[in-house]
Chains A and B, each alone.
Chain A
Amino acid sequence: MINAVGRDIPDYLLVDGKEVYQGRFAKDGQVLKRDAPTCVMNEKPVADKLCESIREACERCGAHDGMTISFHHAFRNGDYTASMVCRVLVEEMGIKDLRVAATSLGDAHNLLADYIEQGIIVQVQASGVRGRIGDAISHGKLKEPAIIRSHGGRPRAMMAGELHIDIAFLAAASSDKVGNASGNGGKNNCGSMGYAMPDSRYADKVVVITDTLAPFPNVPASVKCEDVDCVVVVDEIGDPKRIGTKEARVTQDPRDLMMAERAADVIAATPWFVDGFSYQTGAGGPSLAVTRFLEERMDAKEIKMGVAFGGITGNMCDLQDRGYVRKIVDTQDFDTKAIAHLHDCPDHVEMTVSDYANPASKGAYVNYLDYMILAALEVDVNFNVNVITGSDGVVRGAPGGHPDTAAGSKCCIIVTPLVRGRMPTVCKEVTTVTTPGECIDVVVTDYGTAVNPARQDIIDCLDAAGIPHVSIEYLQEKAYSIVGEPDPLKWEDKVVAIVEARDGTILDVIRQIKPYTFE
């Protein structure tokens, strides 16, 4: 069946009430009942919830074949936990048919790629998949298609009972003996635990894994003892060098800076740029640089940013320290500066990813977002965005909060170079739709800025400010004139991953890629 972004979704996937994507607000107003985790009465006084080993925790939590386990990705590329736990489950306990529902998976998890290839991990659900796991999925090694969900789509799926987690293994920088856990106060800090918190509320069993046992009670806690079954203390939960860079540096690339300044001009020309505006930017080079150019525009208008949210970098913290940002509300920290800042500054606070982006809520933060600055691997002439499949058709990215913030924000701006090497970023049709074009308002490139024709209000603002703009078709033609028109990718029939829209409908599918041959 063809969905609202023109993608053909195989009928065999449309079972058990699964529907195709019908538009960004098609499910608005739908009533749903929260799916609750099982809980066990705990009445007796006990000393603690400490386990000697991960294995003991797994046994106490009833680890079994075919179960769904979860991890969070606040420790990013430095994460040891997911691999440690999977090794115990597979090598020591011989568990089979594992389903891994992580908030994101990446280069730190190559061991999981081995287990996928061996058929031990049979399914993956994540907001993003990089590294060898992406290769394994794209080459059809999973028994069941992977499910790719946005950051808001994941807690929605847990609430709706579509994703039910048997055991959540949640790495924490520090925890006390009963499971009050935090992203700070340890030897390897990650800052916000925004991704872990919904899992702690919706998983049947919760295991906190830390390398720093803090005195009881370890408060304020992100993950709370009432939700935690077991606590395991290990030597190291992560590689500090890979958890966060020292400080995410703002790009010095002249191309990125030029695009960033153009995006800042677009912001300054639109009506939401008033005192107290809300703002989020991705952590990519040009996106991050936009913030730098906002400063002088805020000065000129004598206004301040009301709130910055989402993933946070040190330069946003700097901006707050210099009085430009009233509140930072933080789901994830990208560098050590932001991690420390979350701990030290009262106007910089943690929020859960559900609070941030869940569409099945009474109003997530993204619904109140004025400006969202995002990157893209591809944008097509219908403004659909791909941030997950590379030019070789392999899964190597993460929608993350892209679809959530694009749908919720009043003005969503994609900042991307027109071509990367020989890859045209603006193209006729994206390989995979991860964010529907109806949510994308402006595309800023090094060869010009295009506004979605659906946003005549923004077009009028740019015209009034004398900001030149071009059509998205002009950008696509320019890109092809530089790099040549790409040949279509060749796919097998087998669906290896399902891209879920944030409302749970099917936005797109990713098929197994055929090996390339010269004919």
Chain B
Amino acid sequence: MVIEKMAMAGTLESSDAQVTVEPADSLTLHIESSVLNQYGRQIKATVEEVLARLDVTSGRVTVVDKGALDCTLRARVECAVFRSCDASMVNVPWGGVIQ
């Protein structure tokens, strides 16, 4: 997928994560987390895995994590990317690239 415009998903509440995606020439990932020391590596791996599955190869992705579980992180990254393509509201490929 191509990030066509800036989009955001999630909140800054505890146990949530706020993900922002913006168009860019290359793919960059910036992660802030309240649990960085113990989960930074896993957060990064999860976000990269989701982006790869969605075939996102360029864009600026910012994750502000407040202790979200993996399933929440995935949901927020996917939603932000789908929103950036105006594809989040109908015919989402559940069980396809969303898994």
Contacts and interface: CB of A to CB of B under 8 A. Distances in A.
> Are any A and B Cβ atoms less than 8 Å apart in their complex?
yes
Interface of A: 391-393, 420-423, 482-484, 486-487, 489-490, 513, 516, 518-519
Given A392-B37, A484-B42, A516-B40, 6 more contacts: A391-B35, A422-B39, A423-B38, A487-B38, A487-B39, A516-B36
Nearest to B46: A484
B14 interface: yes
B53 interface: no
A423 B14 CA distance: 11
A519 B36 CA distance: 13
B35 A421 contact: yes
6 contacts: A391-B34, A421-B15, A421-B67, A484-B70, A486-B38, A487-B41
Nearest to B16: A421
Contacts of A392: 35-37
Contacts of B31: 518
A489 B37 contact: yes
B8 interface: no
Interface in B63-93: 66-70
Interface of B: 14-15, 31, 34-42, 44, 66-70
Nearest to A392: B37
A393 B37 CA distance: 8
A483 B72 CA distance: 11
Given A487-B42, A518-B44, A423 B35 contact: yes
A395 to B, nearest CB: 14
A513 B37 contact: yes
A391 B38 contact: yes
Nearest to B31: A518
A422 B36 contact: no
Contacts of B15: 421-422
A482 B35 CA distance: 15
A95 B34 CA distance: 38
B40 A421 contact: no
A396 to B, nearest CB: 12
A516 B37 contact: yes
Nearest to B37: A392
B63 to A, nearest CB: 12
Contacts of B35: 391-392, 421-423, 486
A513 B36 CA distance: 13
B17 to A, nearest CB: 10
A486 B70 CA distance: 13
Contact of B38 (A420, A489, A519): A489
A437 B69 CA distance: 29
A421 B36 CA distance: 13
A518 B40 contact: yes
Q: Which among A420, A484, A513 has the greatest number of chain B C-beta atoms within 10 A? A: A484
Nearest to A422: B67
Contacts of B42: 484, 487
B46 to A, nearest CB: 9
Contact of B14 (A393, A421, A487, A490): A421
Given A421-B14, A421-B15, A483 B40 contact: no
A422 B68 contact: yes
B66 A391 contact: no
Given A422-B68, A484-B70, A391 B40 contact: no
Given A482-B69, A483-B69, A391 B37 contact: yes
A418 to B, nearest CB: 13
B38 A421 contact: no
Contacts of B44: 518
B33 to A, nearest CB: 9
A423 B36 CA distance: 11
Contacts of A421: 14-15, 34-35, 66-68
Contacts of A518: 31, 40-41, 44
Contacts of B40: 487, 516, 518
Contacts of B68: 421-422
